[in-house]
């Protein structure tokens, strides 16, 4: 099976924001052009920002951004260990944003089947993920629904024949029971989840595509669930199936996985670093420019200092600065300072610059 190809989308080597025609050095936008509606930032935990800044990934990702390197690994095929990522980072570091953007990239650019799941506290997800993968064939690839149903029937018939031959030949083997068919639900056992994902993976491979399982906030899961998912990725990778994983969690989760056993080498560890000054400038300038707004250089520098480079805090600082400016064409350093004080609320001290992301609320 040839590896699916990643559609190439040209991107700018650098971001520049020029003055919009009709603006006059900081005066208000004309009433018709004033952005009363959607602001250029989304200061909400777990929300995908208007513009995703792709930070450099772990060593071995060819010096590209983490997301770009992961997308390239999906296109290479299941043999590439970078197609099974464990992304680690502290609060407000953009783990969920990365997970959502990677999901959208896999669906839109590769036409992969994507299962996205946000983990709930002490939940068990093996059965949920397997059932979602089976159901996603019908919802994401509706034209392949009949072909997948036929593949399921052939698989069941073949397994029944193998079992019958084993008993007639005097070798009472006990193969793993087949998972129920589409629509019948999926057992929550590890073997049932593995068989269901393997079935979907084989079908995706026959189409020259793949399956991406995205699990956000693995730390929340019940004891042993994260380790079971690691073994699941290990087992599917060993069979060469095009089933990839992107899982997010805290740095403490990385230590748990390293101590869990031999499957740890199956997952490629990447840790999200804070945005640097240029990346903060990009995160502010690109969505603001789409609304006819420009951040002064000193304003962007102050956002970097106040936020510590944490992506969520950059969104929060940018939003409140934009509001404090009266939604003018130009956001100044004074607007950023005033907006940040409002964002902290009465009696709430802002994070110190020296503290960085660790000092963030």
Closest Cα partner for 112 from 231, 241, 227, 272?
241
Cα separation, 289 vs 317, in Å, equals 16
Within 10 A of 37 (CB to CB), how many other CB atoms are there?
A: 6
Cα separation, 311 vs 317, in Å, equals 10
Q: pLDDT category, 346, cuts 50, 70, 90? A: low
Structure tokens at 361: 């609320």
Topology adopted by domain 275-359: Helicase, Ruva Protein; domain 3 (1.10.8)
Mean pLDDT of 275-300: 94
Q: Are 86 and 257 in contact (CB under 8 A)?
A: yes
pLDDT of 60-113, one tens digit each?
A: 455 678 888 898 899 888 888 889 999 999 999 999 999 999 999 999 999 999
51 vs 27, more confident:
51
Cα separation, 316 vs 283, in Å, equals 12
- b (16+ CB within 10 A) / e for 221-244: beeebbbbbbbbbbbbbeeebbbb
CA 341 to chain centre: 31
Closest Cα partner for 338 from 315, 317, 314, 358?
317
Cα separation, 24 vs 230, in Å, equals 57
Least confident of 2-11, 101-110, 287-296: 2-11
Domain with CATH 3.40.50 in the chain: 66-271
Supply the pLDDT for residue 37: 52
- The DSSP bridge partners found for residue 85 are 246, 268
Q: Are 325 and 332 in contact (CB under 8 A)?
A: yes
Cα end-to-end span (Å), the chain: 48
Q: What are phi and psi of 101, to 5 degrees?
A: -70, -40
CA 338 to chain centre: 33
Domain with CATH 1.10.8.60 in the chain: 275-359
334 vs 263, more confident:
334
Q: 199: buried, middle or exposed (CB in 10 Å: 19+, 13-18, 0-12)? A: buried
* Angle made by CA atoms 254, 42, 61, in degrees to the nearest 5: 40
Does residue 1 surpass a pLDDT of 80?
A: no
Alpha helices, H only, 61-206: 66-76, 95-110, 126-140, 145-168, 190-206
Q: pLDDT category, 263, cuts 50, 70, 90? A: low
Q: Are 84 and 240 in contact (CB under 8 A)?
A: no
- The DSSP bridge partners found for residue 268 are 85
Tell me if residue 311 falls in helix, strand or coil.
Answer: helix
**For 66-271, which CATH class?**
alpha beta
Supply the pLDDT for residue 61: 53
Cα separation, 132 vs 115, in Å, equals 7
The percent of residues above 90 in pLDDT, for the chain, comes to 42
Tell me if residue 155 falls in helix, strand or coil.
Answer: helix
Structure tokens at 109: 């650019």
């Amino acid at each position: 099976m040839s590896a699916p190809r990643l559609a190439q989308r040209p991107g700018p080597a650098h971001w520049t924001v020029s003055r919009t025609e009709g603006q006059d050095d900081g005066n208000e936008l004309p009433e018709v052009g004033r952005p009363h509606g959607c602001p250029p930032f989304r200061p909400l935990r777990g929300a995908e920002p208007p513009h995703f800044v792709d930070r450099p990934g772990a060593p071995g990702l060819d010096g590209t951004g983490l997301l770009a390197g992961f997308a390239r690994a999906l296109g290479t095929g299941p043999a590439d260990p970078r197609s099974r990522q464990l992304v680690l980072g502290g609060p407000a570091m953009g783990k969920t944003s990365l997970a959502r953007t990677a999901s959208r990239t896999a669906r839109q650019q590769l036409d992969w089947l994507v299962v996205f799941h946000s983990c709930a506290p002490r939940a068990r997800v093996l059965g949920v993920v397997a059932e979602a993968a089976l159901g996603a064939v019908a919802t994401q690839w509706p034209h392949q629904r009949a072909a997948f149903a036929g593949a399921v029937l052939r698989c069941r018939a073949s397994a029944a024949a193998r079992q019958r031959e084993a008993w007639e030949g005097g070798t009472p083997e006990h193969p793993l029971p087949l998972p129920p068919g589409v629509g019948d639900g999926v057992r929550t056992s590890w073997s049932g989840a593995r068989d269901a994902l393997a079935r979907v993976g084989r079908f995706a491979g026959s189409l020259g595509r793949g399956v991406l399982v995205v699990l956000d906030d693995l730390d929340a899961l019940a004891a042993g669930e994260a380790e079971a998912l690691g073994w699941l990725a290990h087992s599917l990778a060993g069979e060469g199936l095009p089933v990839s994983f992107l899982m997010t969690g805290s740095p403490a989760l990385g230590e748990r996985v390293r101590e869990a056993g031999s499957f740890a080498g199956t997952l490629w560890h990447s840790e999200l670093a804070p945005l640097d000054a240029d990346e903060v400038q990009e995160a502010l300038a690109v969505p603001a420019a789409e609304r006819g707004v420009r951040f002064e250089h000193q304003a962007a520098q102050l956002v970097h200092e106040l936020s510590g480079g944490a992506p969520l805090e950059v969104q929060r600082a940018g939003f409140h600065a934009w509001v404090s400016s009266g939604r003018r064409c130009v956001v100044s350093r004074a607007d950023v300072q005033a907006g940040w004080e409002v964002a902290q609320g009465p009696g709430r001290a802002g994070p110190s610059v020296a503290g960085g992301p660790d000092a963030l609320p």
